[in-house]
Amino acid sequence: MALVMPGQSAMPSVVTPPELESLAPVWSHLTTLVVDRAVGATLIDATGREYLDFTSGIGVTNTGHCHPRVVAAVREQAGRLLHGQLNIVLHQPVLQLARALTAVVPAGLDTFFFANSGAEAVEAAVKLARRATGRPGIIVFQGSFHGRTHLAMSLTTSKAVYRAGYQPLVPGVVVAPYPYPFRYGWEAEETARFCLRELRHLLVTQTSPEETAAVLIEPILGEGGYVVPPDSFLRGVEQLCRELGLLLILDEVQTGFGRTGRFFALEHAGVRPDVLVMAKGMASGLPLSAIAAPASLMARWPVGSHGGTYGGNAVACAAALATLGVLRDEGLVDNAAAMGRRLLDRLSQLARKDARIGEVRGRGLMVATEFGRAGGAPDPATARAVQKGCVDRGLLLLTCGPHDNVIRWIPPLVVTGAQIERAVEIFAEALAAVR
Ligand code: PLP
């Protein structure tokens, strides 16, 4: 395979300082690689050097980089209609996408609102909940990440830096504990029972059910540390919402579209939300997000009280339709489950030999290696050094968690067994080099 196109070899692979200075310094950078092209789970820089991408652009490229069917759909749609604003006209891609999505979301969530980013979709879900119930309160969970816009940031507690300096935040948000057994140093079911008790307590001490619109939760904490709660916890939250008449909003922005080895992570616990939030893996890299809810609930959202210029963009919807086809036809959800088991197995073997890895956990291809000890002694220094060692050896991995002491493994769902083995080999080498 020719990795560098003729005439492109002069392009620098690393941005020189003057160019980098023209980008706002608010962006942190894992690398300053200038990627020329990408295919599957591989990024290729302008010198032809290949990198295994186990970040998927933060969980977006589930079908792999530049899947030919997605690229063809984008090209075809771009030649027909780039933008048909949905308050003004309709177009086939958005109509077909809404129909296609009803086959993958829980039965009854048959009405969709489209936006561009995860944060926007979270905001839409919360605005819908507030208007439909007439109540202000939103319950979120410790360690959650829901986005960077002002309301989404106010719902986010995964790291103080996301909120610091932006006060006042949007009022009406209260925070319940999320079952993170490793951090508490407790057994999983015991942690879940504690958190459910605290949630009930919060509803008699901080926000009464009569003034609470919804409970908003990630089925697996993403940015907050790739924390997998016991299924009993999510079922308990659902039961409490039904009992007290609260809406349940599931944020599947990072867990959706096959990531956890099921189409949506809610399938593991068998819970059914009132509102499902999705983005990231939805359109293989084009900006698109959505919320799904029953028509009866969407009908309580007054016409004109929400909207947006670009939501449901024609090219992004065409990419999403192709993405759904690829996930189905190539069995990528099953591949995520199988490759995820292999990855968990290999990393667990490593962890048994290296006490610096405190826990390996995850579902499907959403896997974490946490550095530190159970009960609260995080080790971000080792995590960062290993992450850097991996980059130097050609493997891109992100960290997460409040202390950045968790390395997250989130390759495209097309990843092969050989790529998993190679990635773990690189990780082991990088780990051995950090002493
Ligand atoms: N919700 C979750 C669970 C996320 O992981 C993210 C992004 O990482 C968001 C919301 C925000 O998505 P976006 O960055 O597209 O606004």
Helices 417-433 and 332-353: angle between axes, nearest 10 degrees: 30
> What's the burial of 391, exposed, middle or buried (CB within 10 Å: 0-12/13-18/19+)?
middle
The region that residue 113 occupies, defined by phi over 0 for left and psi between -120 and 50 for alpha, beta otherwise, is beta
Instruction: Give Cα separations from 430 to 15, 360, 391, 405 (angstroms).
Output: 25, 17, 9, 15
Q: Is a pLDDT exceeding 50 seen at residue 216?
A: yes
pLDDT band at residue 377 using 50, 70 and 90 as cut-offs: very high
Percent of the chain with pLDDT over 70: 96
254 lines ligand 1 (CB under 6 A): yes
Exposure string for 68-83, b = 16+ CB within 10 A, e = fewer:
ebbeebbeebeeeeee
Q: Residue 148 to residues 101, 151, 157, 245, 329: CA-CA distances in angstroms? A: 26, 8, 11, 29, 34
Task: Answer yes or no: is pLDDT of 155 > 60.
Answer: yes
Q: Confidence band (pLDDT; 50, 70, 90) for 205?
A: very high
Q: Tell me the CA–centroid distance for residue 401 and ligand 1, in Å.
A: 14
Position 5 scores a pLDDT of 34
Task: Give the tens place of pLDDT for each residue, 70-90.
Answer: 999 999 999 999 999 999 999
Q: How confident is the model at residue 245, as a pLDDT?
A: 98
- The answer to whether residue 10 scores a pLDDT higher than 80 is no
What is the per-residue pLDDT for 13? 52
Band of pLDDT at residue 3, cut at 50, 70 and 90? very low
**Average pLDDT of the residues in 128-133:** 98
What's the 122 CA to ligand 1 centre distance in angstroms? 8
Ligand 1 atom 1: the closest Cα is on which residue?
Answer: 146
Q: How remote is the CA of residue 118 from the centroid of ligand 1, in Å?
A: 5
Average pLDDT of the residues in 127-134: 98
pTM assigned to the model: 0.96
The whole-number pLDDT of residue 435 equals 85
Mean pLDDT of 362-391: 97
The tokens describing 52, both together, are: 């295994």
Of ligand 1's listed atoms, the one at least distance from the Cα of 122 is: 10
pLDDT (mean) for 286-308: 98
Instruction: Write the residue with the smallest CA distance to atom 12 of ligand 1.
Output: 118
Going by C-alpha positions, the residue among 96, 226, 233 that lies closest to residue 158 is 226
Q: Which residue has the tokens 């986010």?
A: 156
Mean pLDDT of all residues in the chain?
95
Give the separation between CA 121 and CA 320, rounded to whole angstroms: 16
CA 289–ligand 1 middle distance (angstroms): 10
Q: Is 118 in the pocket of ligand 1 (CB under 6 A)?
A: yes
The pLDDT confidence band at residue 28, using thresholds 50, 70 and 90, is very high
Q: Is the pLDDT of residue 8 over 90?
A: no
Residue 435 alpha carbon to ligand 1 centre in Å: 34
Does residue 12 surpass a pLDDT of 50?
no
How many angstroms is it from 433 CA to the middle of ligand 1?
A: 33
4: pLDDT confidence band, cut at 50, 70 and 90? very low
Residue 334 pLDDT exceeds 60: yes
Q: pLDDT tens across 139-153, in order?
A: 999 999 999 999 999
| Ligand 1 pocket, residue 252 CB under 6 Å | no
Q: What is the pLDDT of residue 15?
A: 59
User: What is the C-alpha separation between 179 and 308, in angstroms, rounded?
Assistant: 36
* DSSP helix/strand/coil, 409: strand
Residue 176 confidence (pLDDT) above 60: yes
Does the pLDDT at position 215 exceed 70? Answer: yes
Stretch 33-38: mean pLDDT: 96
The three-class DSSP label of residue 395 is strand
